Homo-oligomer: A and B are copies of this chain.
Amino acid sequence: MNELHQMNELFDELFPIMRSITGEGVRETIRILQNYMPLEMEGIPTGTEVFDWEIPKEWVIREAWIKDEQGNEIININNLNLHVINYSEPIDQWLSLEELKQHVHTIPHLPDAVPYVISYYKERWGFCMSQSQLDSLSEGTYHVFIDSEKINGELNYAHAILPGKSKKEVLISTYICHPSMANNELSGPIVAAFLYNRIKKWENRELTYRFVFVPETIGSISYLWKYGQHLKEHLYSGAVLTCLGGIEHRLSYKMARNNAAPLNQLVTYLNERENYAMPVRPFTPLYGSDERQYCSPGFNLPVGQFSKMVYGAYPGYHNSLDTKEAMSIESLLESLNEIEQLLKLQELDGYYINLKPFGEPKLGKYDLYPDINTPTIWGRSSNKKIDGRQQLNQILTILNYSDGRHRLADLAKTLNYSLEDYEISLEALKEHQLIEGPFYEERELF
């Protein structure tokens, strides 16, 4: 079964689950994902203080509906789990239409959409429906019923590690707390799960990859509370995955707050030098996802964010129009391909060390230099082993700038080859013990 089919299948398993920031929905989501990757689940008990926050009670929702005087069901969360305010209090009451309207949320300018409304930290009850359905209700009394409960429990998240040669880590973080929405919920976990399996297959993985699935905001804050110190010490790079679907949308990158972040530098380089053209959004703490937490000043981690059909900027954002069809599984596959390719380049784009840095090495010894010099071969200097002048240019450039102070992207600025073209020359030089690397921080040449 190909990836596209598998992604589609995973989507269908995850979509109907009633998720929130705590509770059975999160755990069920993690259990399904565990069929795709070896996620470890952890939990922090209700009432635990995590930084300036406190882990809330778990929200248990069993039933929620509105019926008219005739007992006709107006809405029921069994049909659409957005119909109840997430974290709503219980209620069982008869109301006039006027009273009911005080507790029903709609989106007037999108009359067919049911909004997604949350009230985690303030006690209230309420429903969501489409404006057109609300308009169609006739005068009369209505029976509102919510069977919910808040209980001591825990906040859950899960993670998995793919070790590489270096202990330096790349964080891939996504969230698992929204109920039935496609782009702004499932796109992230699905791409993350399949990205895990792609990277798992890389030969010679240089970096260590950490995949994290958390409820948004309080989940990433909790994860930082638990693993923030480790991340401060080991994190090299990272990105939050969110809203990765969208037909005819382009994958874009939101810069990490710390502009030295490798992905900031790499995407900027590629756009400037190689007409790569991934749209870039500046860092802002005002909107976004968990990069706001990773980039809070106490951590300031090098974590950006990938998004395709960006949150807040499409009609289905936070309402029932956010469907699989509006997002498209094919577009997730495109995002997966682009992100994987960028992470591969990120591995190549390290610091290298010239092991024979005093003068040029005698390249002829390694069959990397022509054994005769005549004016007629000047301009190609090729002796069969070398593919024209190009590999020799790359080799001389790599050797000269492999001083522990220049990244591959720095040295590549002096020639007109794209980053991935250097891989063969780098391998040839490593084979002859002429360079070592990549390393992921500056180092002394000797």
Task: From known contacts A122-B372, A284-B414, A297-B403, infer whether A225 and B378 are also in contact, taking CB-CB under 8 Å.
Answer: no
How many copies of this chain does the complex contain?
Answer: 3
A78 CB within 8 Å of chain B: no
Contacts of A376 in B (CB 8 A): 105, 107-108, 115
Collect the chain B residues with CB atoms within 8 Å of residue A359's CB: 51-53, 220-221, 224-225, 293, 296, 298-299
- Report yes or no: B403 in contact with A117, Cβ–Cβ below 8 A: no
Assuming the contacts A297-B357, A319-B375, A445-B297, asked whether A362 and B257 have C-beta atoms less than 8 A apart, the reply is no
> B225 and A299: CB pair below 8 A?
no
A20 part of interface (Cβ distance < 8 Å): no
Question: How many Å lie between the Cα of A224 and that of B358 in the bound state?
Answer: 8
| Contact stretch, chosen from A147-155, A163-171, A336-344, A392-400 | A392-400
Query: Could you tell me how many residues of chain A have their Cβ less than 8 Å away from some Cβ of chain B?
Result: 67
A295 CA / B107 CA spacing, docked (Å)? 63
Whether B108 and A402, one on each chain, are in contact in the complex, defined by CB atoms closer than 8 angstroms, is: no
The prevalent SS among residues of A at the interface is loop
Closest to A298 in B: B357
Q: By the criterion CB–CB under 8 Å, are A401 and B297 in contact? A: yes
Q: List 26 A-B contacts (CB under 8 A).
A: A51-B356, A51-B358, A52-B356, A52-B359, A52-B360, A52-B362, A52-B365, A105-B374, A115-B375, A117-B372, A117-B373, A119-B372, A121-B362, A221-B358, A224-B359, A225-B358, A225-B359, A228-B358, A282-B414, A284-B414, A296-B357, A296-B358, A297-B400, A298-B357, A298-B446, A318-B374
**Across the A-B interface, the 3 shortest Cβ-Cβ residue pairs:** A298-B357, A122-B371, A285-B400
